[in-house]
Amino acid sequence: MIYAANLKCNHTRTSFANYAEILDDFILKNKIGDEILVFPPNLAFLQGDFSFTLGAQNFYPCINGAFTGEIGKEHLDEFGIKCVLIGHSERRNLGESKDLLKAKFDFAKQNDYKIIFCVGENLDTKNAGKTKEFLAKQLENLDLKYKKLVIAYEPIYSIGTGVSANLKDIKEILAFLRSKTSAKLLYGGSVNEKNIKEILSLNECDGVLIGSAALKVENFAKLIKG
């Protein structure tokens, strides 16, 4: 299974260093064989050899250059980061266009990064019965055969609300995504101690992307341990 923690705009370098140390210790002591990914804020990246994969919540598709406020490949390289999150709804909301997402995807692919590509519909789209159509559009023009691609289904109405999508919907959408790609599939959106088992038991579910419930390292460890 894949357990991914998206820390969003939380944790400083100091608090994340503590998080990383505890998580690393937990993984080693418990001989966790699952794949653990952690996405801290860019400024909290750490140098070091961890038993989890450090990923970037954001980057700009460039090596370096005149892109004020962005970070490029050179900055990821300094921390050995080769895993990136693309298409999270919170970044789409900030204005990341489909063209930019495609440029990020292609750049990440070109550099052999693992890509966690997020898709998800809002409640209006779901209620209109247009989820599949919408998700197909979000995946349009992307190389769904890329071997280091992971797709995270994160319905927007379930992110940070404390209420995950219902199991039947998750199952149906993961099956739909599976019909389009053999990439690993994650579910994200209010995954917590109460619902993680049933979500992970779904046939097409290869793991979870966790926000709030992974903010404290002890909670994230509990979710991994099951």
Tell which one of 55, 188, 204, 223 touches ligand PGA (CB under 6 A). 188
How far apart, in Å, are the Cα atoms of 173 and each of 129, 135, 161, 176, 205? Answer: 12, 9, 20, 5, 10
Based on the residue annotation, tell me whether 88 is a catalytic residue of this protein: yes
Residue 212 contacts ligand PGA per CB under 6 A: yes
Quote the CA–CA distance of 99 and 31 in Å, as a whole number. Answer: 41
**Binders in 118-157 for ligand PGA, by CB under 6 A:** 154
Amino acid found at 203: N
Using rule CB under 6 A, residue 196 touches ligand PGA: no
Q: Is 191 in the site for ligand PGA (CB under 6 A)?
A: yes
Is residue 116 within the footprint of ligand PGA (CB under 6 A)? no
Report which of 95, 148, 150, 91 is spatially closest to residue 117, judged by C-alpha positions: 150
Count of CB atoms situated within 10 Å of the CB of 198 = 12
- Asked if 210 is part of the footprint of ligand PGA (rule: CB under 6 A), the reply reads yes
The nearer residue to ligand PGA, 154 or 204, going by C-beta atoms, is: 154
**Is 11 annotated in the active site?**
no
Comparing CB distances to ligand PGA, the nearer of 73 and 221 is 221
Distance CA 93, CA 107 (A): 21
Among 34, 160, 225, 226, which residue interacts with ligand PGA (rule: CB under 6 A)? 160
